Amino acid sequence: MNTLTRTSALPGLPWIFWGCALAYTLTESLRPYIGSDLLKAIPALSLALYGLRTLQGQERTLLVAALLFAALGDMILDRGHDTHLLPGLMAFAVTQLCLSVTFWRLPKGPYSNLIWGLPLGTAVFLYLVLPFLADTPQGDLRWAVGLYSGLLTAMVMGCCWSAQHWRPIAGAFLFLFSDSLIAVDTFIWPSAAGLPLIFLSYFAALWWLLGPAARR
């Protein structure tokens, strides 16, 4: 895979990405405020611009689309997981689909054996979580979370199948952790540390999975 490795293609990318990511995380208790949705989306948008300048062909189309829909999902979810989770899931479902198609088209890598336990882990998680999603302020979310979890698992499996380095795999698992924590923190066990941990793990997931540090 022709990965994002040339930081010179977008000078200041780490500062833009992590500056906005940390600023959003530190001000999460104030959201939504004017510009908070854009602030949250800038990390994904900066990686999308980076992909436009460093990738080619169908890979560029798929990964840039994945990041643009991630940015859209970020802006939607800035309004609150408890009220806007469903449209946010729809946007991120496209992200996971684009990433899955990209990863599964690549040759088998040295970490491919990691894929085998993932479906069982997802099944156990859904068995434990879905009863809490039958009656939420947004209605019955069991079907939506179940479908999204399947797409997310397919993405993580695809990354494990094709990755040539541990960093994108760490990013994929951080994506899985962050999204799982959203369900727990929103509908089962809210905590003061929940949202900062969700945001930090999500931004780290983007960086390691699709940023300049990724080596496929």
Asked if residue 176 is part of any domain, the answer here is: yes
pTM of the model: 0.91
Position of tokens 């949202």? 195
Tens-digit pLDDT profile for residues 105-115: 999 999 999 99
Asked if residue 16 is part of any domain, the answer here is: yes
Asked if residue 39 is part of any domain, the answer here is: yes
Q: Which residue, 82, 98, 99, 80, is CA-closest to 163?
A: 99
Tens-digit pLDDT profile for residues 50-91: 999 988 899 999 999 999 999 999 999 999 888 899 999 999
Domain extent for 150: 7-210
Asked if residue 216 is part of any domain, the answer here is: no
Cα–Cα distance, 72 to 69 (Å, whole number): 5
Asked if residue 215 is part of any domain, the answer here is: no
Asked if residue 132 is part of any domain, the answer here is: yes
CB 47 within 8 A of CB 17: yes
Torsion over CA: 160, 165, 166, 172 (sign)? negative
Asked if residue 14 is part of any domain, the answer here is: yes
Asked if residue 58 is part of any domain, the answer here is: yes
Q: How many domains does the chain have?
A: 1
